[in-house]
Amino acid sequence: MSIDLQIELKPNYVHLHCRGAFRSDVLLEVWESAFRVAIDEGRKAVLVDLRDLEGAPPTTVERYEQGVRFAEAQQRFGLGILIAVVGHEPLVDPEKFGETVGKNRGGFGAVFTDIEKAVDWIEEEARQ
């Protein structure tokens, strides 16, 4: 995997900080890693932090594929684990196309460009 993952445990979630070169195919592995870390650490939520990834943003087709794969991984690992994704535009789509695709396929998560909003959302959802 060309994306370096650093794990920081928070009381209600795992902060999975990603660094390196963005590649859509590698990001698919990040979703599975996020669910595995949550299970291993006994958390029901993960904040996937993409703010330190570099490279060209995903295409519309890649965003679609990300949404589909995210929902599939979440269903495989358990719907009780939720994911908040935070990153900068244009890597993160302000229209949230991938999030919409994932939700339409049964996934539960949210995409943010503001770290404070992402943390607030995941804290609130993790308490429920």
At 14, which CATH number? 3.30.750.24
Backbone phi, then psi, for 94, in 5-degree steps? Answer: -65, -20
Distance (Å, whole) CA 50 – CA 65? 17
Distance (Å, whole) CA 127 – CA 98? 25
- Domain extent, residue 58, equals 3-114+123-127
Mean pLDDT of 52-79: 90
State residue 99's pLDDT score: 95
Confirm if 127 and 12 have CB atoms less than 8 A apart: yes
State residue 79's pLDDT score: 66
State residue 20's pLDDT score: 92
Confirm if 69 and 28 have CB atoms less than 8 A apart: yes
Nearest to 84 by CA among 112, 43, 53: 112
Domain total of the chain:
1
Please name the residue that has the structure tokens 């460009």.
Answer: 113
Mean pLDDT of 19-28: 87
Nearest to 89 by CA among 53, 37, 121, 126: 53
State residue 71's pLDDT score: 92
Q: What is the pLDDT of residues 109-128, one digit of tens each?
A: 999 999 999 999 999 987 77
Distance (Å, whole) CA 32 – CA 73? 6
> Which residues partner with 47 through β-bridges?
15, 84
Helix orientation angle between 60-77 and 97-104, rounded to the nearest 10 degrees? 40
